[in-house]
């Protein structure tokens, strides 16, 4: 997951999409706690979260990242992949997030960023957290 997902509870919950993505995050965190899915943390998540100017939000995300089953640090392989992803049109920080997920051999990368979802070209499933919950739990709309 990227920080857009972790920070959804702090966004304007009167917007239907944001409310749904916040509920999806709650479900995902329960799935992580019950070991149905694994959460991958990364040095990129830690870095981006450390730049959050709101201490309570930053601390909340730090606590959620402690649930991670695996931690991916940035290395040379990731740096090389970032360059390729930026060439595809991804932003620098998004490219780092995705490259970490790829190197960690994640099946999914969750984001609320529609632009990232559209632009990513690779084998990793880059999807919105609501779609992830529906897919993983077998629910259909």
Query: What pLDDT sits at residue 138?
Result: 87
- pLDDT of 77 above 60: yes
Q: Rounded to whole angstroms, how far apart are CA atoms 126 and 118? A: 9
How crowded is residue 111: how many other Cβ atoms within 10 Å of its Cβ? 24
Average pLDDT for 84-96: 96
Say which residues have a Cβ less than 8 Å from residue 141's Cβ, sequence separation at least 6.
134
How crowded is residue 27: how many other Cβ atoms within 10 Å of its Cβ? 17
Which SS3 state, helix, strand or coil, does residue 33 take?
helix
Q: Dihedral angle at the C-alpha atoms of 84, 28, 114, 131, nearest 10 degrees?
A: 110
Cα-flanking dihedrals φ and ψ of residue 120, to 5°? Answer: -65, 130
pLDDT digits (tens, 9 = 90+) for 91-118: 999 999 999 999 999 999 999 999 999 9
Q: Using 50, 70 and 90 to split pLDDT, how confident is the model at 82? A: very high
Average pLDDT for 49-60: 97
């Amino acid at each position: 997951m990227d920080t857009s997902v972790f920070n959804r509870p702090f966004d304007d919950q009167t917007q239907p999409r944001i409310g749904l993505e916040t509920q999806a995050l709650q479900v995902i965190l329960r799935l992580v706690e019950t070991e149905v899915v694994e959460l991958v943390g990364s040095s990129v998540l830690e870095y981006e979260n450390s730049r959050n100017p709101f201490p309570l939000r930053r601390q909340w995300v730090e606590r959620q990242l402690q649930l991670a089953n695996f931690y991916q640090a940035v290395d040379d392989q990731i740096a090389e992949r970032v360059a390729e992803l930026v060439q595809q049109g991804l932003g620098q920080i998004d490219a780092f997030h995705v490259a970490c997920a790829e190197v960690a051999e994640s099946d999914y990368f969750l984001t609320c960023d529609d632009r990232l979802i559209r632009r990513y070209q690779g084998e990793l499933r880059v999807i919105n957290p609501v779609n992830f919950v529906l897919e993983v739990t077998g629910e259909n709309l």
